[in-house]
Amino acid sequence: MNNKSFLITAVILASVTLFTFVRCKKQTQQKVVADNHATLIEWHKEGMDAALQLAKKENRPLFVYWGAQWCPPCNVVKATVFTDNDFAIATKKYIAVYLDGDTESAQQWGEKLNASGYPTLMVLSPEGSEVVRLSAEMSPKEFTEALNSVYDNLYPIHVLVKNILSTPVDKVDQKSWQIAASYDWAQAKNNAEKINWAESYAQLENRIPAKFKREKDRLYVNAILAELGDLKEGTELPEAKRKTIADR
């Protein structure tokens, strides 16, 4: 598949994902996977409050998953990512917390964490503040790389993006690019007051070196989606912009 076909396909798939994947709603009660904990990850078993206390005590960040049994995209993540050995190893540096969205306590934490759709996967600092929300659209390998990169860069995402944009491009490491490209744009509204995502993604995509092709392509797709998300109802991208996308 050439680059043009790849990008057009990626935009279409990501657009569908925006409405059906991350915004997974309780439209169906069909359970694809019955066991929430049928994974390789060592989940913290004493609840979110205890996990936050432990994180502060041990100075360890938290990896938090918020999902539901009835949510098909959640079950895809559980069946592919959470059963991947390398990803499971990467989570050992974190305190991993599984929030079952079908329980009242998890719903309460979903509100506290401002989780707007299933599945939500985020990293919190040892102090409990949000670092990043990871896109659920990645492969197990991409998830693993992102989680390892985040561990070495526990800056809030809006701080990381501003640092990338203000640092000479040859001084920005691949880990920073990986984190920026792995961010869950569909939940970007949680940081909307801190950063203009459509503009920032476009700037990031223009700055990232061509050698980081995967991250560059993901940033380009996210820039388009962010711009589409900013459009008023009934409007569309300018013709020149649509032509640029088609020609890429």
Between 16 and 101, name the one with better pLDDT: 101
Using DSSP's 3-state secondary structure scheme, residue 63 falls into: strand
Question: Alpha-carbon distance 115 to 219, whole Å?
Answer: 22
The single-letter code of the amino acid at 13 is L
Tokens in use for 174?
Answer: 């691949």
Would you place residue 121 in the very low, low, confident or very high pLDDT band (cuts 50, 70, 90)?
Answer: very high
- Amino acid identity of residue 10, one-letter, is A
pLDDT in tens, 57-102: 999 999 999 999 999 999 999 999 999 999 999 999 999 999 998 8
Which amino acid, one-letter code, is at 8?
I
Strands 95-100 and 130-133 turn out to be unpaired
Q: Residue 213: how many CB atoms within 10 A of its CB?
A: 11
Q: How many CB atoms lie within 10 A of CB 124?
A: 23
Between β-strands 95-100 and 62-67, what pairing exists: parallel, antiparallel or unpaired? Answer: parallel
Contact 160, 153 (CB under 8 A): yes
CB atoms within 10 A of CB 36: 18
pLDDT at residue 104, as a whole number: 85
Taking alpha carbons only, the member of 111, 94, 202 closest to residue 150 is: 94
**What is the C-alpha to C-alpha distance for residues 79 and 179, in angstroms, rounded to an integer?**
23
Cα–Cα distance, 91 to 94 (Å, whole number): 5
In whole angstroms, what is the distance from residue 68 CA to residue 106 CA?
Answer: 10
* Average pLDDT of span 185-201: 74
Encode burial over 12-25: b for 16+ CB neighbours within 10 A, e otherwise.
eebeebbeebbebe
Q: How confident is the model at residue 231 (pLDDT cuts 50, 70, 90)?
A: confident
Q: Is the pLDDT of residue 133 over 60?
A: yes
| Stretch (H or E) spanning 179 | helix 174-182
